[in-house]
Amino acid sequence: MEENQVRSDGPIRLLSRRVTISQLADSLSVSKGTVSKALNGYSDVSGRTKARVAEAARKMGYRPLSHAQAIRTGRSRSIGLVIQADEYDGYNLFLRDFLAGISQSTSEMGWTLTVASSNSYQDFQQVVCRMVEQRKVDGFILPRILVHDPRYALLKRMEIPSVLFGRLWESEDDLIADSEAICYDIDGELAFAEAVLRMQKHGHTRIGFVGAPSEYTYAHIRRNGYIFGMEKAGLEIDDKLIVSDIRTRKNGAQATQWLLETEEPPTAIIFATDEIAMGAYTVASQFNLSLGHDLSISAYDGAAWGRIMSPALTSYQVDMGKAGRRLSSLLIGHIEGKKLDDQEEIAPAKFIRGGTDGPPALSSYELGRKFRRSVNGNGSQLVRQIGERQ
Amino acid sequence: MEENQVRSDGPIRLLSRRVTISQLADSLSVSKGTVSKALNGYSDVSGRTKARVAEAARKMGYRPLSHAQAIRTGRSRSIGLVIQADEYDGYNLFLRDFLAGISQSTSEMGWTLTVASSNSYQDFQQVVCRMVEQRKVDGFILPRILVHDPRYALLKRMEIPSVLFGRLWESEDDLIADSEAICYDIDGELAFAEAVLRMQKHGHTRIGFVGAPSEYTYAHIRRNGYIFGMEKAGLEIDDKLIVSDIRTRKNGAQATQWLLETEEPPTAIIFATDEIAMGAYTVASQFNLSLGHDLSISAYDGAAWGRIMSPALTSYQVDMGKAGRRLSSLLIGHIEGKKLDDQEEIAPAKFIRGGTDGPPALSSYELGRKFRRSVNGNGSQLVRQIGERQ
DNA sequence: CTAAATAACGAAAACGGTTTCGTCAAATGT
DNA sequence: ACATTTGACGAAACCGTTTTCGTTATTTAG
């Protein structure tokens, strides 16, 4: 039966036959140089030939080997993402969808995603240099932009293409006028302004804000959104209702408590991130406050676990998958020299209705009284643990 | 001052001077062929020369360009991870540390990590074929192993090296005797047996189990651990206390409720994952049961957000970073043809003490009564929503 | 002491592309 | 009609490696 001596059984060898540029050239009776030029849009090959080549390439399923291209051109059709392993990212709300988005988009364009990790900004530099020197990647996506981001500065000085997830920010109140930077970001300003207005519509007049670590540009953007919303709502901006530089749930709880300890406490608090908003749950359960009634809160990120809290966290969700797709597409376009009509692309966040906000059940005064009474009634380790503000 | 005409200002060009093999060869007055052979351990180059070359390479910081190697050798010194975008992974408990571990280890060995994504197993095949055909990667890491894992089957048939995070499993009760598969896994069996014994030590005798979707091999492993633990504890294994194929928090809540509805309900329940254990929180708050007293639970994964629940979830943590490091190291070793002393590496999980387990405050009978009373007292939408078991 | 084997290296051909030239016909200018 | 430009292509160099194949000295065997 089996007369074919050459092993016809055994593992399938799908890796078998890639078609090379020479084969393609032979089948068209042209030189491989011409094929290459045709495919890369050189001007010294006729339209007819270009069409023939393109057609044949499609038919034979020819895909140039990017390694081979890289060695001559220095470009590898690959983009890089270095994940900052040293950075605090307690609840992983970041990565999966983002990565899926990036890799989906890159692979659609025939590119590749290479990921590395670094443990410090020092380390980042080495990692980047190595990858670039080795021509592993042609550009980088930078997530979580810092106020003076050394990563962006480095890449810019080295003239390595990059796109930012987030925006640049110079000093306390100025967006950097770096017309070269390509950004994609979510409109945090808008989301936080809306959040304020939503609280106002519920009937709140004392609305607090708990901000993220000010090293991140988004911390300033969100804070500005809050300020803007307060102005638009015609509410007084009271510095005593604003806390900054909060990163963890634990500190979020401290911040919440500080706000409730003020003379005229906020009946609604807006948190810069879902994670720090968790602190409000801690405080609420400690001091017997009902979220969504006694105290209203809303946050930002739209993390999945926010919905399993009870009550579910009202938040603004960012579409990480889309962010990844857009960023990778912007980066590849930039590397390929496409001119963008706009260097900055801003997408809206999506409101996620939860159960943590509603009309105030208590006035600011009543809330303060209830809180203080609960503090005293409580064995209140928490209070002692927390100590003085600032 | 500055008399150097050549642009000394402007962007630093760190990408400037890679040293090539030719330069290295010239500086030693040998041919580049010899250098290559020396570095790759060929036998037809003398020990003295090998040493000289190695020394000079180190001094000049020579690193071969993997693209150039790839084109000749067909190997790119890169490993692949394809993330399954279609797969349910509600709470992202997976990725970040794992990726950091993998990329750290790969880059230490001078390799690269390439990540792609797919939306189906169909898609997976295409993605893999493309990456291999294009020589983008030399092997894959496969996380979340399925009972009949089409990914592993595919890679094996194509003779593409792979390592598994998890173990193979054939039928309901048999580990596949696939001596070729290289695995790294956490000892789920041990963890679940321990969890049972811990509950027994607390004084529980009715201990339930809620299992993960049986498509995953870990579901069977963890279930076996539970069974083994029960036997070792000398407790009766009651099928009515075992639920399987639970994936989400919502279904976890259903399962919990089913167990509490049985005639002789468990006073302790062990959940296969942190996520489904969240369901117990839902049920507990709905029916006014105190976790850690009325009902004890423990879970598995050690997700960060488990610790922000109140009470904090008792769980077993798996070190994702280490898993990533080991897997990438195993894979690279395998690709390079190293013989392993053991194809299977099993690491222990780390117990995370939370507040959800303790001595039973109620007997099984009392718990059942309390639960039923609460159900009736309750408007209990939950009950109606849930419907009949199976 | 000569013939054969071996050790250690260099020259050059791959690998799969891109890019620089040179060439030759056709089109254009005068 | 002749000189010149242009258009379209092939030949060959090149990118940075690996790998094959000679080619020499130097050992070893007979």
Instruction: Catalogue all structural domains in chain A, each as residue range(s) with its CATH number.
Output: 21-60 (no CATH), 78-186+320-347 (3.40.50.2300), 188-319+351-386 (3.40.50.2300)
Q: CA-to-CA distance for A188 and A195, rounded, in angstroms?
A: 10
Give the chain B residue nearest A69 (alpha carbons).
B67
pLDDT score of B179: 64
**Residues B352, B306 contacting (CB under 8 angstroms):** yes
What is the full DSSP assignment across B231-287?
HHHT----GGGEE----SHHHHHHHHHHHHHSSS--SEEEESSHHHHHHHHHHHHHT
pLDDT score of A309: 82
Interface of A with B in 187-246 (CB under 8 A): none
pLDDT score of B310: 80
Tens digit of each residue's pLDDT, chain A (390 residues): 222 222 223 344 444 578 999 999 999 999 999 999 999 999 999 999 999 999 999 999 999 999 999 999 999 999 999 999 888 766 556 788 899 999 999 999 999 999 999 999 889 999 999 999 999 999 999 999 999 899 999 999 999 999 999 999 865 555 555 667 999 999 999 999 999 999 999 999 999 999 999 999 999 999 999 999 999 999 999 999 999 999 998 999 999 999 999 999 999 999 999 999 999 999 998 999 999 999 999 999 998 878 878 899 999 999 999 999 999 999 999 999 888 888 899 999 999 999 999 999 999 999 999 999 998 876 444 444 444 443
Residues 62-91, chain A, CB closer than 7 Å to nucleic strand D: 68, 71-72
Cis peptide upstream of residue A265 (ω within 30 degrees of 0): no
Residue B51 buriedness (CB in 10 A; 0-12 / 13-18 / 19+): exposed
pLDDT band at B370 (very low <50, low <70, confident <90, very high): very high
Q: Which residues of A touch B93 (CB under 8 A)?
A: 92
Q: Are strands A315-317 and A350-352 parallel, antiparallel or unpaired?
A: antiparallel
Query: Contact A96/B94, CB-based, under 8 Å?
Result: yes
Q: CA-to-CA distance for B368 and A45, rounded, in angstroms?
A: 83
Give the chain A residue nearest B104 (alpha carbons).
A117
Rounded to the nearest 10 degrees, the angle between the axes of helix A364-377 and helix A249-261 is 120
- Residue B270 scores a pLDDT above 70: yes
Does the C-beta of B155 come within 7 A of strand D?
Answer: no
Q: CA-to-CA distance for B188 and B259, rounded, in angstroms?
A: 23
Closest CA to B195 of B68, B296, B307, B97: B296
Query: Contact B13/A66, CB-based, under 8 Å?
Result: no
pLDDT band at B16 (very low <50, low <70, confident <90, very high): low
Q: Where are the alpha helices (H) located in chain B, listed in sequence order?
A: 21-28, 32-39, 47-60, 66-73, 95-108, 121-133, 150-157, 188-202, 217-233, 249-261, 274-286, 320-335, 364-377, 381-386
Query: Contact A99/B117, CB-based, under 8 Å?
Result: yes
List b or e across B153-185, with b for residues whose CB sees 16 or more CB atoms inside 10 angstroms.
ebbbebebbbbbbbbbbeeeeeebeeeebbbbb
pLDDT band at B273 (very low <50, low <70, confident <90, very high): very high
| Tens-place pLDDT, residues B177-205 | 566 799 999 999 999 999 999 999 999 99
Query: Contact B114/A114, CB-based, under 8 Å?
Result: yes
Q: Which residues of B touch A136 (CB under 8 A)?
A: 66, 112
- Among all strands, which nt has the closest C1' to A37 (CA)? C18
pLDDT score of A157: 92
> A346 at the B interface (CB within 8 A)?
no
- The 8-class DSSP code of residue A388 comes to S
Closest CA to B96 of B323, B365, B379, B345: B323
Query: Contact B67/A308, CB-based, under 8 Å?
Result: no
Q: CA-to-CA distance for A297 and A267, rounded, in angstroms?
A: 9
Residues 33-62, chain B, CB closer than 7 Å to nucleic strand D: 33, 35-37, 39-40, 44, 62
| Tens-place pLDDT, residues A65-122 | 999 999 999 999 999 999 998 887 665 567 888 999 999 999 999 999 999 999 998 8
Does the C-beta of B18 come within 7 A of strand D?
Answer: yes
Q: Which residues of A touch B310 (CB under 8 A)?
A: 281-282, 285
Helix, strand or coil, per DSSP, at residue B223: helix
Sign of CA dihedral A89, A349, B281, B83: negative
Closest CA-bearing residue to C1' of D7 = A44
Helix, strand or coil, per DSSP, at residue B351: strand
- Looking at chain A, the number of H-run helices and the number of E-run strands are 14, 12
Quick count: other Cβ atoms within 10 Å of Cβ B128?
23
> B77 at the A interface (CB within 8 A)?
no
Q: Which residues of A touch B285 (CB under 8 A)?
A: 310
Closest CA to B270 of B204, B361, B342: B204
- pLDDT (average), residues B135-152: 94
**Residues A370, A210 contacting (CB under 8 angstroms):** no
Q: How far, in Å, are A162, B213, B268, B296, B355 from residue B292 at the CA level?
A: 50, 26, 9, 4, 6
Please report, as a single letter, which amino acid is at residue A287. F
Q: CA-to-CA distance for A107 and B252, rounded, in angstroms?
A: 36
- Residue B116 scores a pLDDT above 80: yes
Closest CA to B224 of B258, B184, B270: B270
**Residues A137, A92 contacting (CB under 8 angstroms):** no
| Cα angle, residue A59 at apex, residues A53 and A60 outer, rounded to 5° | 90
Query: Contact A158/B11, CB-based, under 8 Å?
Result: yes
Backbone angles phi, psi at B14, to 5 degrees: -70, -25
Q: Of the candidates B13, B70, B90, which has its C-beta nearest A67's C-beta? A: B70
Report the distance from CA of residue B47 to the C1' of nucleotide C9 in Å, as an integer. 13
| Tens-place pLDDT, residues B359-369 | 999 999 999 99
Where on strand C do bases come within 7 A of a protein Cβ? Answer: 7-22
Sign of CA dihedral B20, B26, B29, B32: positive
Closest CA to B138 of B161, B115, B156, B118: B161
Query: Contact B285/A96, CB-based, under 8 Å?
Result: no
Q: CA-to-CA distance for B242 and B172, rounded, in angstroms?
A: 15
- Among all strands, which nt has the closest C1' to A36 (CA)? C18
> B160 at the A interface (CB within 8 A)?
yes
Quick count: other Cβ atoms within 10 Å of Cβ A286?
19
Q: CA-to-CA distance for A362 and A294, rounded, in angstroms?
A: 6
Q: How far, in Å, are A274, B205, B342 from residue B310 at the CA level?
A: 17, 25, 42
Closest CA to A254 of A223, A195, A224, A210: A210
Q: Of the candidates A67, A91, A103, which has its C-beta nearest B304's C-beta? A: A91
**Residues B118, B124 contacting (CB under 8 angstroms):** yes
Q: Of the candidates A76, A115, A310, which has its C-beta nearest B113's C-beta? A: A115
- Residue B12 scores a pLDDT above 50: no
pLDDT band at B7 (very low <50, low <70, confident <90, very high): very low
Q: Nearest-CA distance from B72 to chain A in Å?
A: 9
Query: Which of A13, A87, A97, A112 would you mutate first to test chain B, the one with the most B CBs within 10 A?
Result: A112
Closest CA to B52 of B33, B37, B38: B38
- Among all strands, which nt has the closest C1' to A31 (CA)? D10
* Distance of alpha carbon B295 from the chain centroid: 29
Q: Which residues of A touch B114 (CB under 8 A)?
A: 78, 112-115
Report the distance from CA of residue B71 to the C1' of nucleotide D22 in Å, as an integer. 25
